[in-house]
Amino acid sequence: MDLLNIDYEKYTLNNGLNVILYQKKNLPLVAVNIWYKVGSANEVKGKTGIAHLFEHMMFQGSKHVPKEKHFKFIQEAGGTLNASTSFDRTNYYEKLPSNYLELALWLESDRMGFFLPVLDKIKLENQREVVSNERLQRYDNQPYGLAWETIITNLFPQNHPYSWPTIGFMEDIKSYSLYDVSNFFKSYYSPSNACLVIAGNFETDKAKELIELYFSEIKRTDTKQTQSFKNFKLKENIFIHKKEKVQLERIYLVWPTNKIFSKDDAQIDVLGDILAGSKTARLNEQLVHKLEIAQDIQAFQISGNFGGAFLISATVKPNINPEKVKSEIFKSINKLIDKGSTEKELLKSKNGIKSQFIYSLQNLDTMADQLNNYNFYLNEPNYFSFDLNRYSSVTEKGLLNVAEKYLLNNHLELRISPEQ
Amino acid sequence: MIKLKRISAPKPQKISPFSLPKIEELQITNINKIIYVQKKNLPIVRFSYVLELGSRFDPADKKGLANLFGMVLDEGAGRLNALELKEKFQMLGTNFSINTSKDSVSFSFLSLKENFSKSLYLINLILTKPNFSEKDFEREKSKILTSHQQIQDSADYIADISFDSLIFENNSYAFPTIGIKDHLTKLSLQDIKVYYKNIFKKAIPYLIIVGDLEKENLARAVQTKFGPIRQYNSIKKMDKISGQKKTQIYFVNKKGSVQSGIRIGHINNKRNEKDFYSKTLLNTIFGGQFSSRLNLNLREKKGYTYGIHSSFDNYKDASVFNISTSVSSENTANAIGEIIGEMEKIRKGVTKEELSFAKSSISKRFPSNFETYGQIASNISSIIKHNLPNNYFNDYLKKINKVTLNEVKNTAVKNIHPKKSIILVVGDKEKILTQLEKLKLGKITEVGIFGDKL
């Protein structure tokens, strides 16, 4: 599909910074998006969450940008901005009126090259409090909010880079020193460990000149590597039961899968869609619609550079035996493995995925981030068509294969029941 | 060659031109209002069918009716049962949704251009030939009752629902869209059918269509699908809302909470063109964005919270000033103290720099409010909701930039009332009660999770 064929230019500065330029001139906007190849997977036990805390610190000013001014400059220019941290990477992004491109480059280069001179204890203590509150608000104080943490700490083997949550454990958040923060910067925030995407309305020559001007003097440093981790299987089923302040019981079933963009990756995504991606998906039809034993049900995969997991979760309706829900989930899985999927449900899933690809082209910042995403995992920013093709070429046989290959293995089960 | 100068922020280049999307009104019948925006860059269409029939029109003993109606309406239509109907949308790759709020119920979809007519056919089927089967009704009713039970787990839901209940007292805006449990239990399929026949079918819809379509074809397609609809003219007048006489503290005891959800605010005068622009600037400075006074103080200076936000929530017939945040339990009173302090302070006015920052931010961000198909549709729906002219956005920036320092100060004095606020806290009583007492800000009352008197 032509729409999904993105015309871009990619090159590397002398200091190793990757640059990707993509012009799109329908609006006077420009998106600037930087991925640093560091996420919580690069952390060590005892200092979990530091990649995310560090992301916060990057907004606390740099040598030429006073604290609080980073946000102010961009907002005053009519821009929007944010950042996020995941297992594998940290991204920083802003979208501004196109005539403010230079402002964004100035700010991004300043914190890439001149972060350390103005790092201080007051900033760290402040953001430690903010991040502690973020953890409380988004996880500890949410119903079922700690489920994910419980799952990954028990599913992944000890020392697996995904065996702790990106937000970090509270006692670790309390423990970071200034040295930890500056050391983290030195270990990972080299231009050679980053990729800068500029997307939108700009003139190529001018943009290149500005990028050279602001980024080329930043020195490359050696970055720490994290060892890759082999795929693993569970030796036996794991069962965890927790009682929490919730009204309804919830069941989580989780299987280890494979790395992102590996051979089975797209098939597993479609498997999730067919099982519980919509109201007409198998598990929804059976458990929510027909039997009315579950209030809601989800099935999806998360995968990254170091591995993946397939998760099914269901909230049990009041006065229903959770065992019934669990056995129905397995019945549906077994039926899929016995009889395979239908042509129709596969087509339904593919049509949905195709539309979502096109809808996602509406946002300049989403596109800039996707260019970085493809480049990060595949070293090729223009992967939209190929990516869609991964999904549209999934076959009934391929689906059956991955269902057999992964869902018949041992799994982890987490139950969260109401405290009585 | 440009010279590298890191010491100060670089100046912007010459501004690139931006033209607003053209908002057109299609005249196909003399009853329906159809707003159309042609947007060409992608083969996408965004469609909304909106009725001003939100949950605030739910009868006094049937709170939750409009929302449940929305849930049941798309459970099968024509010859299609509930699942078949949903599957049709999925086959087209169309995202269809029904959304009920206090002011309106809307039926929207985002589709590929090539599937627009087929999606339109389906939405029309839902609106004109719903199945209303007993089984579907009972299932959806049971779902909403379960949701009703589940929201008790969430401090945010509890805070939002009880805040509205306390703010609006007996006014119809006081009740949550999801409804009241005892009322929901008693609703029958007959209620849904009566609602459909007597209210839904007689309401005037407005349609919002954004996409790459030929105007003539579009007019024809819409004409055949959505013929004239009879006028329903008994929209209820707004009951009076009295507002607070003095500040009072309410709390919901959520045992075991590690944070306190806080809402502070009061009734405000309804959205009007006279003070809308100065309110917008005022709120931008006070709590409307990251670099606001509230966030810089409570997050970036004190570290009490992950974030704090304020807004003038403009309903069709009412407006509420609302500050909302979550803080660690031990800082509950400290945070409230700071918030009230900021409310007092802003009544003394804002600085020239703050006002110019807010104007700059709003003006320069303007083009990015029209980036996606959904953004455009939602901008239009606010035009309609508040009876604004179709060229409203043409003058928007001029009006923003005309606001003076003095006007912002007057607006603050008239619209931010630290001494006449409701302060609501959802948290663990054992951890917060003593703190709240020490604040000495007003009478402290414990309420139930829906803001109900205990």
pLDDT per residue as tens digits for the range B267-284: 999 999 999 999 999 999
The conformation of residue A62, written as its DSSP 8-state character, comes to B
C-alpha angle A208-A210-A211 in degrees, rounded to nearest 5: 65
What is the arithmetic mean of pLDDT over B220-231? 72
What is the arithmetic mean of pLDDT over B118-147? 97
Instruction: Estimate the crossing angle of helix A50-57 against helix A178-188, to 10 degrees.
Output: 90
What is the arithmetic mean of pLDDT over B314-334? 97
Across the interface, of A68, A95, A355, the residue whose CB is closest to B368 is A95
Across the interface, of B91, B146, B154, the residue whose CB is closest to A351 is B91
The model's pTM: 0.96
Distance CA B343, CA B325 (A): 15
Q: Taking 70 as the threshold, does the pLDDT of residue B231 lie above it?
A: no
Q: Which of B156, B366, B368 to mutate to test the interface with A (most CBs of A within 10 A)?
A: B368
Q: Do A140 and B6 touch (CB under 8 A)?
A: no
Poorest-confidence range of A188-197, A289-298, B15-24, B299-308? B15-24
Name the band, by pLDDT with cuts 50, 70 and 90, for residue B31: low
Express each pLDDT in A377-416 by its tens digit.
Answer: 999 999 999 999 999 999 999 999 999 999 999 999 999 9
Q: Which of residues 377-406 of A touch B (CB under 8 A)?
A: none
Across the interface, of B257, B291, B372, the residue whose CB is closest to A362 is B372
Distance CA B408, CA B405 (A): 5
> By the CB < 8 Å criterion, does A361 face chain B?
yes
Q: Taking 70 as the threshold, does the pLDDT of residue B22 lie above it?
A: yes
In whole angstroms, how large is the CA radius of gyration of chain A?
23
Across the interface, of A106, A125, A318, the residue whose CB is closest to B146 is A318
| pLDDT score for B26 | 85
Question: To which residue do tokens 């005022």 refer?
Answer: B282
What is the arithmetic mean of pLDDT over B166-179? 94
Distance CA A55, CA A181 (A): 10
Q: Do B15 and A278 touch (CB under 8 A)?
A: no
CB B131 within 8 A of CB B72: no
Q: Taking 90 as the threshold, does the pLDDT of residue B235 lie above it?
A: no
Q: Which of A124, A133, A206 to mutate to test the interface with B (most CBs of B within 10 A)?
A: A133
| pLDDT score for A55 | 98
Q: Do A133 and B327 touch (CB under 8 A)?
A: yes
Burial A288-314 (b: 16+ CB within 10 A, else e): bbeebbbbbbbbbbbbbbbbbbbbbbb
Distance CA B31, CA B27 (A): 9
| pLDDT score for B238 | 64
Name the band, by pLDDT with cuts 50, 70 and 90, for residue B30: low
Handedness of CA B22, B25, B27, B28 (dihedral sign): positive
Phi/psi region, residue A393 (left: phi>0; alpha: psi -120 to 50; beta: rest), is alpha
CA-closest candidate to residue A350, choices B93, B214, B362: B93
Q: How far is B315 from chain A (nearest CA, A)?
A: 26
Residue of B nearest to A212 (CA): B4
Q: Do B91 and A347 touch (CB under 8 A)?
A: yes
Q: Do A27 and B14 touch (CB under 8 A)?
A: no
| pLDDT score for A367 | 97
What is the arithmetic mean of pLDDT over B352-370? 97
Q: Do A129 and B303 touch (CB under 8 A)?
A: yes
> By the CB < 8 Å criterion, does A321 face chain B?
no
| Share above pLDDT 70 across residues of chain A, in percent, rounded to a whole number | 100
Q: Taking 80 as the threshold, does the pLDDT of residue B215 lie above it?
A: yes
| pLDDT score for B293 | 98
Express each pLDDT in B389-417 by its tens digit.
Answer: 999 999 999 999 999 999 999 999 999 99
Pick the CATH number of B23-225 from 3.30.830.10, 3.30.70.270, 3.40.50.150, 3.10.20.30: 3.30.830.10
Q: Which of A136, A140, A363 to mutate to test the interface with B (most CBs of B within 10 A)?
A: A136
Which chain B residues touch A138 with a CB distance below 8 Å?
Answer: 306
Q: Do A359 and B110 touch (CB under 8 A)?
A: yes
Average pLDDT, chain B: 94
The conformation of residue A219, written as its DSSP 8-state character, comes to P
| Share above pLDDT 90 across residues of chain B, in percent, rounded to a whole number | 86
Across the interface, of A140, A213, A217, the residue whose CB is closest to B258 is A140
Poorest-confidence range of A32-46, A357-371, B1-15, B18-32? B18-32
The DSSP-derived string for B53-117 is --GGGS-TT-TTHHHHHHHHHTS-BTTB-HHHHHHHHHHHT-EEEEEE-SS-EEEEEEEEGGGHH
Show the tokens assigned to B86.
């949903």
Q: Which of residues 228-247 of A touch B (CB under 8 A)?
A: 245-247
Burial B68-98 (b: 16+ CB within 10 A, else e): bbbbbbbbbbbebbbbebbbbbbebbbbbeb
Q: Is the CATH code 3.30.830.10 the one for domain A238-418?
A: yes
Domain-wise residue ranges, chain A: 2-215, 238-418
Across the interface, of A3, A75, A318, the residue whose CB is closest to B361 is A75
Domains B23-225 and B248-447 share a fold: yes
| pLDDT score for B29 | 63
Q: Which CATH architecture has domain B248-447?
A: 2-Layer Sandwich (3.30)
Express each pLDDT in A309-328 by its tens digit.
Answer: 999 999 999 999 999 999 99
* Terminal alpha carbon distance of chain B: 73
Across the interface, of A68, A132, A246, the residue whose CB is closest to B153 is A246
Q: Taking 90 as the threshold, does the pLDDT of residue B2 lie above it?
A: no
CB B173 within 8 A of CB B101: no
Pick the CATH number of A2-215 from 2.40.40.20, 2.60.40.10, 3.30.830.10, 3.60.15.10: 3.30.830.10
SS3 content of chain A, % helix, strand, coil (to 5): 45, 20, 35
CB A292 within 8 A of CB B123: no
Q: Do A100 and B12 touch (CB under 8 A)?
A: yes
Phi/psi region, residue B315 (left: phi>0; alpha: psi -120 to 50; beta: rest), is beta
CA-closest candidate to residue A33, choices A93, A79, A88: A93
Residue of B nearest to A144 (CA): B153
**Which position has the higher pLDDT, B227 or A273?**
A273
Q: Do B139 and A73 touch (CB under 8 A)?
A: no
Domain-wise residue ranges, chain B: 23-225, 248-447
ipTM of predicted assembly, 2 dp: 0.95
Distance CA B403, CA B397 (A): 10
Distance CA B189, CA B138 (A): 8
> By the CB < 8 Å criterion, does A117 face chain B?
no
Residues in chain A with pLDDT < 70?
1
Across the interface, of B300, B305, B372, the residue whose CB is closest to A363 is B372
Q: How far is A104 from chain B (nearest CA, A)?
A: 9
Which chain B residues touch A126 with a CB distance below 8 Å?
Answer: 300-301, 303
Q: Do B300 and A129 touch (CB under 8 A)?
A: no
What is the arithmetic mean of pLDDT over B421-434? 98
Segment A11-14 long-range contacts (CB within 8 Å, at least 24 positions apart): A13/A191, A13/A211, A13/A212, A13/A215, A13/A216, A14/A216
Question: To which residue do tokens 């407006």 refer?
Answer: B319
The conformation of residue B365, written as its DSSP 8-state character, comes to H
Name the band, by pLDDT with cuts 50, 70 and 90, for residue B446: very high
